[in-house]
Amino acid sequence: MRRCRFTPVVLLQLTFYAGLRDEFWTDNELGEHHWSKHFPYCGGAFQSPIDIKSELLRFDPTLRPIEVQNYNLSPNEQLTLGNNGHSVQISLPPKMYISSLPHRYTAAQLHFHWGSSSRPAGSEHMVNSKQYAAEMHVVHFNSDKYHNMSMAVDKSDGLAVLGVLIEVGEFNPAFEHFLKFINGIKYRGQKVQLSGFNVRALLPARLDEYYRYDGSLTTPPCYPSVLWTVFRNHITISHKQFLDLSTALYSSHAQDLTHVPLNGNYRKSQLVDSRVVLVSFKEGRGLHGPLTVTSPLIRKRIVQQLLVGDLADLADERLYQLLPSGSEKLHAGKEKELKEQESETLDKVKKQTLNPSPARKSQTNRFVGKLGLAEDAMCYISLEKRVSLQLKQRHTENQLVRALRDAVFLELNFKSYLDCKSDLALPTIRHILRGRPTDEAFELDRSLTKALMNHRKTSTTIKKSVPGTNYGSLSPATVPGKPHNQGYPHPWLLPMEWED
For ligand NAG, the binding residue among 1, 102, 147, 396 (CB under 6 A) is 147
Name the active-site residue from 86, 111, 140, 177: 86
Report whether 196 contacts 33 (CB < 8 A): no
Between CA 330 and CA 307 the distance in angstroms is 26
Residue 143 vs 422, nearer CB to ligand NAG:
143
Between CA 127 and CA 165 the distance in angstroms is 10
Dihedral sign of CA atoms 289, 137, 213, 105 in order: negative
Report residue 199: phi and psi, to 5°: -65, -25
Does residue 392 touch ligand NAG according to CB under 6 A? no
Helix, strand, or coil (residue 10)? helix
Between CA 367 and CA 90 the distance in angstroms is 43
For ligand NAG, the binding residue among 150, 238, 363, 485 (CB under 6 A) is 150
Binding track, positions 117-156, relative to Zn ion; x by CB under 5 A: --------------------x-------------------
Smallest separation (angstroms) from Zn ion to the CB of 413:
24
Dihedral sign of CA atoms 120, 122, 126, 128 in order: positive
CA distances to 101, 298, 419 from 294, rounded to whole Å, are: 20, 7, 10
Answer yes or no: 86 catalytic: yes
Residue 137 interacting entry, from ligand NAG, Zn ion, none, C-beta within 5 to 8 Å by type:
Zn ion
Does residue 116 touch ligand NAG according to CB under 6 A? no
Does residue 196 touch ligand NAG according to CB under 6 A? no
Residue 91 interacting entry, from Zn ion, ligand NAG, none, C-beta within 5 to 8 Å by type:
none
Does residue 172 touch ligand NAG according to CB under 6 A? no
For ligand NAG, the binding residue among 8, 196, 286, 309 (CB under 6 A) is 8
Residue 148 interacting entry, from ligand NAG, Zn ion, none, C-beta within 5 to 8 Å by type:
ligand NAG
Residue 482 interacting entry, from Zn ion, ligand NAG, none, C-beta within 5 to 8 Å by type:
none
Parallel, antiparallel, or unpaired for β 210-215 and 277-279?
A: antiparallel
Please give the size of the binding site for ligand NAG, defined by CB under 6 A.
Answer: 5
CA distances to 12, 14, 149, 263, 378 from 107, rounded to whole Å, are: 12, 17, 9, 25, 22
Residue 264 interacting entry, from ligand NAG, Zn ion, none, C-beta within 5 to 8 Å by type:
none
Q: Which residues does the annotation mark as catalytic? A: 86
Q: By CB under 6 A, name the binding residues for ligand NAG.
A: 8, 147-148, 150-151
